[in-house]
Structure 1
Amino acid sequence: RIGEHFGIALIEGMSAGAVCIAADKGGPQEIIENGVTGYRLAVVEDSWAEKILELLRNPAKLKSMGEKARRITVSKFSWSALANRVHGKLVEAFTNK
């Protein structure tokens, strides 16, 4: 079985301001700040529907979390952010030789 465990779809959604709800394992643990930019829940947890309804009933919270999701995701996972991290690691590697 082939799967994408990091969470590219999460990053794409969050960079567009979506509040994501995902399983609390793998990539989502690195991507979603639980309760801040989205929710990470146990796979078998009954509260998935509750979280969706909570967000639908509170548009201000949905908007706020979506804005935070976009801001944090772009700052951590945009091409420029990744390029800066790679550049920093390369500089570090070559200056420590």
Structure 2
Amino acid sequence: MYELIDTYKLNGQFRWISSQMNRVRNGELYRVIADSKGAFVQPAVYEAFGLTVVEAMTCGLPTFATCKGGPAEIIVDGKSGYHIDPYHGEQAAEILVDFFEKCKKDPSQWDKISQGGLKRIYEKYTWQIYSERLLTLTGVYGFWKHVSNLDRLESRRYIEMFYALKYNKLAEAVPLAVE
């Protein structure tokens, strides 16, 4: 990559961002890149879900991500971002170059893909949508458990184990009100 940067005189045109663990800083990085009309590229060989893709799109970044796994479902190719095949680097490079050449000729192209990404996120990947789906699945599961003849003792043991391992410590950490 460094050789390509030198060959095509791309120094200062893009940034490598290593894995970031600070969620607040991640959001700030995405915003800085979006404010400078940059793009987010995630060339993973396979991505199970694609949280970084959702985060980048939520910040309005045109996003280029692997066509394998979750990003293939998250991105509508050419409308809310672009699919790239990590096994075909030259083809991926052409997609990126084509996008930025279009943006150079017509700056509204960047905004079009940015808005398409935001629209996709608001249609499919908000916390409200997630919680509604989870509640629906919970209701279906609850009804299924009610009408089935499964051993409820096993479920009770699972819930007690979950409480003991996770929620008990959380409950103990809540400070008591001082009168």
TM-score category by the smaller chain? 0.7 to 0.9
State how many pairs are aligned: 95
Structure 1 residue aligned with 2:65:
22
Gaps of 5+ in 1: none
Q: Deviations over 1:3-30 (max 9, x none)?
A: 9632111000001111111121012112
| TM-score for the superposition, normalised by structure 1 | 0.80
- Structure 1 position 70, deviation (Å): 0.8
**2:138 is the alignment partner of 1:90:** yes
Taking only aligned residues, the RMSD between alpha carbons, in angstroms, comes to 2.1
Q: Residues of 2 paired with 1:73 and 1:35: CA distance?
A: 15
- Structure 1 position 95, deviation (Å): 4.4
Question: Runs of 4 or more off by more than 6 Å in structure 1?
Answer: none
Q: Please tell me whether Structure 1 or Structure 2 has the larger radius of gyration of its CA atoms.
A: 2
Q: Deviations over 1:36-61 (max 9, x none)?
A: 11111221321222222222233222
* Equivalences for residues 23-38 of structure 1 within 5 A: 23-38=66-81
| TM-score for the superposition, normalised by structure 2 | 0.47
SS in 1 for 2:68: coil
Q: Residues of 1 paired with 2:96 and 2:131: CA distance?
A: 35
Give yes or no for contact 1:15–1:71 (8 Å, CA) kept in 2.
no
Structure 1 residue aligned with 2:28:
none
Give yes or no for contact 2:54–2:74 (8 Å, CA) kept in 1.
yes
Bigger relative contact order, structure 1 or 2 (CA pairs below 8 A, ≥6 apart): 1
Q: Residues of 1 paired with 2:138 and 2:72: CA distance?
A: 26
Q: Residues of 2 paired with 1:41 and 1:4: CA distance?
A: 12
